[in-house]
């Protein structure tokens, strides 16, 4: 599958993406996808995003059903995902060779599917660097209005 650059998607196409959940079923605009529970750094990032006036992302979103892969946070309407990679100093799974390979597979699939994925450590969340970069990535874009499709 060839990925279409986000800036080449029409507003109508973005709205269609926003109106579907990972399983392809229709969902109401803004409806959350609570597939799992967020970590403490993810919860902090969500609070920072609210305080910064950024749009609310979907949480623990499955983007590849056949592999069961999820994004920590996702803005379906603009194909931007956020991953908070914890455990980097404590030997967490993201840095173990066998898990890192799987992580590479996941990120490569996301890229091929047209996703832009931002990665942060918990310390980048705590410092505010993560919310700043997410704001820059969204660059004033807002989710489509209800009924836009």
Domains, the chain, ordered by start:
39-138 (3.40.960.10)
Nearest to 54 by CA among 137, 147, 149: 137
pLDDT greater at residue 59 or residue 5: 59
Average pLDDT of the segment spanning 45-69: 92
Lowest mean pLDDT among 11-20, 47-56, 107-116, 128-137: 11-20
Average pLDDT of the segment spanning 95-120: 89
Taking the C-alpha atoms of residue 15 and residue 79, their distance in angstroms, rounded to an integer, is 11
Q: What is the pLDDT of residue 4?
A: 41
Query: Across the chain, what does the average pLDDT equal?
Result: 76
**pTM more than 0.85:** no
Q: What is the pLDDT of residue 119?
A: 95
Cβ-based neighbours of 76, under 8 Å, separated by 6 or more = 17, 18, 20, 58, 61
């Amino acid at each position: 599958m060839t990925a279409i650059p986000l800036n080449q998607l029409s507003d109508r196409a973005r709205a269609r993406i926003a109106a579907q959940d990972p399983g392809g079923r229709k969902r109401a605009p803004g409806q959350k996808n609570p597939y799992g529970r967020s970590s403490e750094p993810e919860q902090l990032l969500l609070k920072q995003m609210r305080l910064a006036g950024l749009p609310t992302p979907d949480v623990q979103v499955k983007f590849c059903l056949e592999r069961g892969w999820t994004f920590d946070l996702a803005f379906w309407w603009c194909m931007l995902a956020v991953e908070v990679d914890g455990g980097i100093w404590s030997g967490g799974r993201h840095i173990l060779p066998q898990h890192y390979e799987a992580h590479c597979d996941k990120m490569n699939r996301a890229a091929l599917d047209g996703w832009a994925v931002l990665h942060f450590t918990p310390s980048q969340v705590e410092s505010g660097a993560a919310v700043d970069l997410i704001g820059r990535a969204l660059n004033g874009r807002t989710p489509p209005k209800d009924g836009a499709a």
